[in-house]
Every structure is written in structure tokens, then in C-alpha cells.
Amino acid sequence: MKKQDEILTIDGFKEEKLKEKGSQFLAQCFPISNEYEITKLLDKIRKKYYDATHHCYAYRLFNGTLKYSDDGEPSGTAGLRILNAIDHFSLTNTLIVVIRYFGGRKLGVGPLGKAYYNSAFEVLQKANKIKKTFYNKFFVTVNFTQISTVHHVIDNYNVKLINTDYKDSVTFEILVSLNDVEIFQDKMIEELKGDVNISVKDKAILI
């Protein structure tokens, strides 16, 4: 079964402002990779914008984890609408925080939800989107006469050569995309007629 070896995310911080009937909505988006990183960012934002009325947010991670918060706004008007904007662009590993300064006039549930969605949508629309690929790390050890064969196999797959260590033998440190792992390993063994030592780090790396 083919694994997900690629995601679409954003490549950096972006900020956009929206005003609606006196209220100011400050939307910020961040590329993120884990929940610890998200917690640190949210704490920092709450301290920086301590005088804001609400700090609403949503995020989705590549492993399926997602969370959203209305932070005191009527249920369904903020966090879920922000998440809808993330999903509109098919993004993962993305956090959006919309900071609201209340302007004195209530918007009503419909317009409020639209304001949060539009804020999140606008900041994502202007953010730069990038694709990132999951790789497994390989260590391929051969003798010096096999170096050209290893390079030949590397050139035919979606791999990245990270380092080459020359000692009594030669060890190649290689990143192989998830969907190429099995065929790459089989091809390396076939081309080198089994005269190779291959070790693989199971934990995927996202680049």
C-alpha cells in the first residue's frame, strides 16, 4: 500500500489584518511540526497580545492530530472556521491564530464566523505554500570498488545523498522517500550482488 510521502504546508510566518464593525482581527499563520512547538507559540502569543479579547486558533498535523479553540467566542464561530480555511488549502503542519480586539459592536453569529474564516483564508492565501517529503535514512556500506554502482542506483531514485564516509570501507548516508524504500533497498542489493551492508532508520524525516 502506498504511503503518504508528501505534504503541503507553508514555508514561514505570515500576518494579515481584517476590520469588521470596529473589531480588529489579526490573523497569523505558522509552519509547525509537533504539539510542543504549538504550545510554546500559543503561550508566546497570549503574552504578547495580552490585551486582546480572544486568541482563537486551529491546527492540523500530518499525523492526523488536529485541534481548534473558540477561546470564549460562541461555539462554532471561530476555531472550526479557522480549521476550515486550513482544509480549504489542503494544508498540514500549519497553525493559525486569529487575535480579536473587540470594537464595541456585536457582529452576530453568522458575520462573526465569516470574519474568522475570512481572516484565516486571507493570511493563508498570501502565505507561500511548499511541498515537503518524508524520507527514511539509509546507511549503505560497501568496498571502494563498488562506489560507482552505488551512485548509479542513487541517481535513479528520489533520494538525497547526505554524506560519504571513507574509512576501511565506504559508508553512504542517504535519505530515501518513503514510497521508494523497499524498491531502493532491493535494487541496491541486486546491483551489488548482496555484497553490501544496509541499515535503515525507521523514523521518517520530513524535508
Tens of pLDDT, residues 180-194:
888 999 999 999 988
User: pLDDT tens-digit profile of 5-63?
Assistant: 789 999 999 999 999 988 999 999 999 999 999 999 999 999 999 999 999 999 999 98
* Helical ranges in 2-127 per DSSP H: 35-48, 79-88, 109-126
Rounded CA separation 124/93 (Å): 13
pLDDT at 179: 85
User: 158: pLDDT confidence band, cut at 50, 70 and 90?
Assistant: confident
Residue 120 has pLDDT above 90, yes or no: yes
Mean pLDDT of 81-96: 97
**What structural domains does the chain harbor?**
6-127 (3.30.230.30), 133-206 (3.30.70.240)
Angle of CA points 179, 181, 184, to nearest 5°: 115
pLDDT higher than 80, residue 202: no
In this prediction, residue 3 has a pLDDT band, given cuts at 50, 70 and 90, of: low
Looking at per-residue pLDDT, the higher value among 205 and 76 belongs to 76
Give me the chain's average pLDDT, please: 93
Quick one: pLDDT at residue 173?
A: 95
Give percent above pLDDT 70 in the chain: 98
| Pick from 52, 72, 124, 63: nearest CA to 95 | 124
Q: So what's the pLDDT on residue 122?
A: 97
Cell triple for residue 34? 509537533
